[in-house]
A and B are shown apart, each in its own frame.
Chain A
């Protein structure tokens, strides 16, 4: 594979990794606080639908983004209410949210737009368009660095840059701030946080809210940045791949980026390799590449390559004990 082809695959990997990364970081905040979230998929989907619908009505990508965040937050609050206030089963709640989003988006999409659940095509300001970074045009023809900078680093839409900036930001929040210290503590031992005079529910609600914001942005990316509108079930399991990436990264921000880029890369290669012939191996079934992230996660969970230990208090409702 020559340089241009490699850059194109990597470029595509970055685009495919972006929604994974946003959802993965969203899950990181929630699960670090001790609230398991298998509802990333649903929140993303709700965000995508809200973004597509509102961007169509208003013609503004920004209002679409806001709506996406709002919709995802609403579902996040349902999850928070069930898991934090009502101390319900977090897995069951997550399952419910995934179905709620899948059902409501398709139902409302059909009721409002009558296009089989999809939202109308968007164009112009209703989408986030690509940004050209300063100097990209000038450097374009420099060998090696030129294509890398022009194709790979420049030329993405705003949300891509936001997603990747969220990685250092999340690291900083988690390890350098008071909120991060408390967040990490509440996922390990909520009683320690409670007796230190900090409200466990408030802390967890904030984590769940951040999770909502980030999944909303991820959804907006799918509907109004990467594509030109919402289509039924457009997340297609990305929320679960993000969850797999989170486990793969052992709930840490930088490895999360690595895992998402890896899974994005697999996806990009799978698309490119469709029907292509690989020397010595023959034709690699595209299904194999699609299943690889899930297989890798299972192998990791099995403890054959390192051990993924989740936050200790994860999934367990906090009840004060004497």
Chain B
């Protein structure tokens, strides 16, 4: 028996402690800004204004948010099965291939809303396929999925460069990218929606794939907490031995969870490929797969938390760009630092403040409550 851990109220566990962790991550980020010699409060002001202060800013924020919802969900679904999928980057990259193939096959013949379902299927299928091999190797041969998914990110990068340079770029073009899609391969932007509120989205690329992202959130919530498969995924993630005892095939669950995870990562490609650039470019994922790790950790692998965390990171990415413009000393790499600190404090150091908070609660709570806790099992 392990030493019992003091029980804390639920709102402390899922509210106070995560909030504290993220707050500390941002405080340390503030120290980095101070160290560079700028005013952190001023930086926050510029950042928030850049992200939310005007229509175009909001449009960019939502664009980034869409990416991070997909990749955050991808990491979260794998988490629930007890798997760490670091391969979101590569799966999203391959998802781009699926999206582009669907778009290029249909864009000249049908309108976007006919292309979209095919593109969704293509993106999900290719992303899932790229997750399948690491999943299979983990389930059947016990190869550590963290390492194999890392390796698959690099393999994906090489594969995609080769495809784009040698096979997908239009004849005569030196650019490593596909042709630009026709109107049937372009997703409508949210500009109209912005105008309804009297705002101008300008050149921001926010598009209707954010609706797909929100639908994916709903899907993940139902899938994990309301279906038999989700029940089996959670059982496997929390106690694999008990899952086997219950007749749940861990091989099946590992593979299904990774397929869903890879598909969600793959869907992320809709947003930049069909929603923004209307073509497949080298390195279009730009680290969104990794941001998904921070988003999932911060959002505690729950869709609502993920949407909030994704929005926060969307703000950081957009506001960070504005910040780099106004304070040249603080380049956009600041976001990567913040992302790292969030992963560190909300992930690796998530229990750092727990003992202190538990002590504080023990001091505050009445003697009656202390006696109640004392009634636990004698060890």
A317 to chain B, nearest CB (A): 10
When distances are taken between beta carbons in the complex, the residues of chain A under 8 Å from B146 are: 38, 91
Q: Does B184 contact A (CB under 8 A)?
A: no
Q: Does A95 contact B (CB under 8 A)?
A: yes
B356 to chain A, nearest CB (A): 13
User: When the two chains form the complex, which single residue of A89, A117, A291 contacts B155, counting CB atoms closer than 8 Å?
Assistant: A291
Asked if residues B341 and A96 are in contact (CB atoms below 8 Å), the reply is yes
Asked if residues B340 and A92 are in contact (CB atoms below 8 Å), the reply is no
Asked if residues B151 and A99 are in contact (CB atoms below 8 Å), the reply is no
User: When the two chains form the complex, which single residue of A106, A290, A291 contacts B333, counting CB atoms closer than 8 Å?
Assistant: A106
| Interface bits A91-110 vs B (CB < 8 Å: 1, else 0) | 11101111110111011101
A251 to chain B, nearest CB (A): 13
When distances are taken between beta carbons in the complex, the residues of chain A under 8 Å from B32 are: 104, 107
B125 to chain A, nearest CB (A): 21
Asked if residues A83 and B348 are in contact (CB atoms below 8 Å), the reply is yes
Separation of A98 and B133 alpha carbons in the complex (Å): 25
- Which of chain B's residues 326-343 have a Cβ closer than 8 Å to chain A? 328-331, 333-341, 343
A110's nearest neighbour on chain B, judged by CB, is: B331
Asked if residues B150 and A107 are in contact (CB atoms below 8 Å), the reply is no
Asked if residues A82 and B137 are in contact (CB atoms below 8 Å), the reply is no
Asked if residues A291 and B84 are in contact (CB atoms below 8 Å), the reply is no
A-B contact count, CB below 8 Å?
155
Separation of A107 and B349 alpha carbons in the complex (Å): 24
B337's nearest neighbour on chain A, judged by CB, is: A103
Separation of A146 and B37 alpha carbons in the complex (Å): 56
When distances are taken between beta carbons in the complex, the residues of chain B under 8 Å from A99 are: 290, 336-337, 339-340, 343
Separation of A103 and B335 alpha carbons in the complex (Å): 7
Asked if residues A86 and B336 are in contact (CB atoms below 8 Å), the reply is no
Asked if residues B333 and A103 are in contact (CB atoms below 8 Å), the reply is yes
Asked if residues A95 and B293 are in contact (CB atoms below 8 Å), the reply is yes
Total number of B residues with any Cβ neighbor in A under 8 Å: 52
Asked if residues A302 and B141 are in contact (CB atoms below 8 Å), the reply is yes
A100's nearest neighbour on chain B, judged by CB, is: B340
Asked if residues A86 and B348 are in contact (CB atoms below 8 Å), the reply is yes
Separation of A295 and B137 alpha carbons in the complex (Å): 13
| Interface bits A43-54 vs B (CB < 8 Å: 1, else 0) | 000000000000
When distances are taken between beta carbons in the complex, the residues of chain A under 8 Å from B334 are: 103, 107
| Interface bits B58-96 vs A (CB < 8 Å: 1, else 0) | 000000000000000000000000001010000000000
Q: Does A111 contact B (CB under 8 A)?
A: yes
Main secondary structure of the interface of A (DSSP, over half): helix
Asked if residues A82 and B335 are in contact (CB atoms below 8 Å), the reply is no
Given contacts A86-B348, A96-B348, A104-B337, contact A111 B329 (CB under 8 A): yes
Separation of A247 and B334 alpha carbons in the complex (Å): 33
Separation of A92 and B151 alpha carbons in the complex (Å): 17
| Interface bits A301-317 vs B (CB < 8 Å: 1, else 0) | 11100000010000000
| Interface bits B154-171 vs A (CB < 8 Å: 1, else 0) | 110011011000100000
When distances are taken between beta carbons in the complex, the residues of chain A under 8 Å from B328 are: 110, 114
Q: Does A191 contact B (CB under 8 A)?
A: no
A135 to chain B, nearest CB (A): 42
Separation of A92 and B298 alpha carbons in the complex (Å): 12
Total number of A residues with any Cβ neighbor in B under 8 Å: 50
Separation of A240 and B158 alpha carbons in the complex (Å): 15
A36's nearest neighbour on chain B, judged by CB, is: B146
When distances are taken between beta carbons in the complex, the residues of chain B under 8 Å from A168 are: none
When distances are taken between beta carbons in the complex, the residues of chain B under 8 Å from A102 are: 333, 336, 340
User: When the two chains form the complex, which single residue of A88, A237, A243 contacts B351, counting CB atoms closer than 8 Å?
Assistant: A88
Q: Does B45 contact A (CB under 8 A)?
A: no
Q: Does B216 contact A (CB under 8 A)?
A: no
A205 to chain B, nearest CB (A): 16
When distances are taken between beta carbons in the complex, the residues of chain B under 8 Å from A91 are: 84, 86, 146
Separation of A36 and B335 alpha carbons in the complex (Å): 26
Asked if residues B349 and A88 are in contact (CB atoms below 8 Å), the reply is yes
B86's nearest neighbour on chain A, judged by CB, is: A95
A286 to chain B, nearest CB (A): 8
Asked if residues A103 and B336 are in contact (CB atoms below 8 Å), the reply is yes
When distances are taken between beta carbons in the complex, the residues of chain B under 8 Å from A285 are: 162, 166
Q: Does B6 contact A (CB under 8 A)?
A: no
Separation of A310 and B331 alpha carbons in the complex (Å): 40
User: When the two chains form the complex, which single residue of A106, A294, A297, A319 contacts B2, counting CB atoms closer than 8 Å?
Assistant: A319
Separation of A90 and B347 alpha carbons in the complex (Å): 10
Q: Does A176 contact B (CB under 8 A)?
A: no
When distances are taken between beta carbons in the complex, the residues of chain A under 8 Å from B148 are: 298, 301
When distances are taken between beta carbons in the complex, the residues of chain B under 8 Å from A272 are: none
Asked if residues B162 and A103 are in contact (CB atoms below 8 Å), the reply is no
A43 to chain B, nearest CB (A): 13
When distances are taken between beta carbons in the complex, the residues of chain B under 8 Å from A83 are: 348
Given contacts A287-B158, A321-B2, contact A106 B143 (CB under 8 A): no
A270 to chain B, nearest CB (A): 10
Separation of A98 and B291 alpha carbons in the complex (Å): 12
Given contacts A117-B331, A291-B155, contact A100 B348 (CB under 8 A): no
Can you give 5 A-B contacts (C-beta < 8 A)? A92-B84, A95-B290, A106-B333, A111-B329, A295-B151
9 closest Cβ pairs, A-B complex: A103-B336, A99-B340, A103-B337, A93-B348, A88-B348, A100-B340, A291-B158, A106-B333, A92-B347
B interface residues, Cβ below 8 angstroms from A: 1-3, 32, 36-37, 84, 86, 133, 137, 141-144, 146-148, 150-152, 154-155, 158-159, 161-162, 166, 290, 293, 297, 328-331, 333-341, 343-344, 347-352, 379
